[in-house]
């Protein structure tokens, strides 16, 4: 029995083990399966070596691997324990808890879409510090990793900084983003999975600040040893000529170190 595209929608499809990948590809593209490859028996029993796959046609896509049960859709060199990875101590980006928890939600919903990048030169992570924190917060033991070479320490640091800063230089076209969010909302998707914590329609509110009048006077207490009073007396007399300035002098036996507690 040939497996065509109409036989795949929400139905169980049986693929001989030896040609499973070929059959899935043909079912997704609409090509007919080669003759002579049985898809099962008419009596309802599964033939030896037959795998039964049941999924919607649009889901006939398989990930490149899994890491702690999370599908990995991106290319990667290896799946490693997150505990074996070393964050770069000079990474200038800090990730607040709210961002990390949102990252966990996105990872578990959409899978890994890009691996954590590790430098072969230093052994440090150069890209994916936020993803590493999300894996820890989400208790995901294994993560996809790709290893890259850098000709110098400076080149590694440049890549570390560039990955953080280039995204900040992008300018968002809000009208297009609103259209995308509207389409996703209409489709019943969780808008939080876009990484946007607040809707664009939320306008910033201005907080009213009460401005108080400045104090009428500034009082200055200056202690000068009596033997040096003549040096500052001329300044005090000059200030006293201003009708808005109040000056008063007095003597005391209290020493300067006794006034500092």
Give the 3-state DSSP-derived string for the chain, with helices as H, strands as E and coil as C: CCCCHHHCCCEEEEEEHHHHHHHHHHHHHCCCCCCCCCCCCCCCCCCCCEEEEEECHHHCCCCCEEECCEEECCCCCEEEEHHHCEECCCCCCCCCHHHHHHHHHHHHHHCECCCEEEECCCCEEEECHHHHHHHHHCCCCEEEEEEECCCCHHHHHHHHHHHHHHHHHCCCCHHHHHHHHHHHHHCCCCHHHHCCCCCCCCCCCCCCCCCCCCCCCCCCCCCCCHHHHHHHHHHHHHHHCCCCCCCCCCCCCCCHHHHCC
Q: How far apart are CA 133 and CA 93, in angstroms?
A: 12
- What's the CATH number for 65-169? 3.90.1530.10
pLDDT of residue 47: 46
Q: How far apart are CA 16 and CA 23, in angstroms?
A: 8
- pLDDT tens for the chain, 261 residues long, are 444 433 333 434 343 333 333 433 334 334 443 333 333 333 344 445 544 445 455 556 789 999 999 999 999 999 999 999 999 999 988 898 988 988 998 899 889 999 999 999 999 999 999 999 999 999 999 999 999 999 999 999 999 988 778 877 777 777 787 788 777 777 777 777 676 655 445 555 667 778 888 888 888 777 888 888 888 888 888 888 888 888 887 877 777 666 655
Whether residue 46 contacts residue 40, with contact meaning beta carbons closer than 8 Å, is answered with: yes
Q: How far apart are CA 1 and CA 14, in angstroms?
A: 10
Strands 124-127 and 116-119, by their bridges, are: antiparallel
pLDDT of residue 119: 97
What pTM was computed for the model? 0.52
Whether residue 61 contacts residue 13, with contact meaning beta carbons closer than 8 Å, is answered with: no
pLDDT of residue 260: 56
Q: Where are the domains of the chain?
A: 5-59, 65-169, 226-259
Q: How far is CA 20 from the centre of its chain?
A: 37
């Amino acid at each position: 029995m040939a497996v065509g595209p109409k036989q795949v929608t929400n139905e169980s499809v049986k693929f001989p083990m030896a040609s499973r990948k070929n059959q899935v590809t043909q079912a997704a593209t609409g090509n007919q399966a080669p003759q002579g490859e049985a898809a099962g028996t008419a009596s309802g029993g599964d033939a030896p070596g037959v795998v039964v796959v049941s999924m919607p046609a649009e889901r006939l896509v398989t990930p490149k691997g899994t890491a702690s049960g999370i599908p990995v859709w991106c290319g990667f060199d290896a799946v490693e324990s997150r505990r074996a990875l070393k964050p770069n101590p000079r990474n200038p980006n800090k990730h607040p808890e709210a961002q990390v928890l949102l990252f966990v939600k996105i990872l578990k919903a959409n899978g890994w879409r890009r691996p954590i990048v590790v430098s072969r030169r230093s052994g440090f992570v150069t890209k994916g510090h936020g993803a590493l924190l999300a894996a820890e917060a989400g208790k995901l033991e294994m993560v996809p990793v790709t290893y890259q070479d850098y000709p110098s320490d400076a080149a590694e640091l440049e890549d570390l900084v560039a990955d953080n800063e280039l995204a900040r230089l992008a300018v968002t076209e809000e009208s297009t983003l609103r259209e995308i969010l509207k389409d996703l909302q209409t489709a019943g998707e969780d808008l939080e999975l876009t990484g946007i914590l607040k809707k664009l329609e939320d306008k910033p509110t201005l907080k009213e600040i009460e401005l108080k009048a400045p104090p009428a006077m500034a009082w200055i207490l200056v202690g000068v040893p009596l033997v040096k009073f003549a040096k500052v007396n001329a300044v005090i007399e000059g200030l006293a000529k201003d009708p808005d300035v109040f000056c008063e002098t007095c003597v005391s036996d209290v020493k300067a170190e006794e006034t500092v507690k």
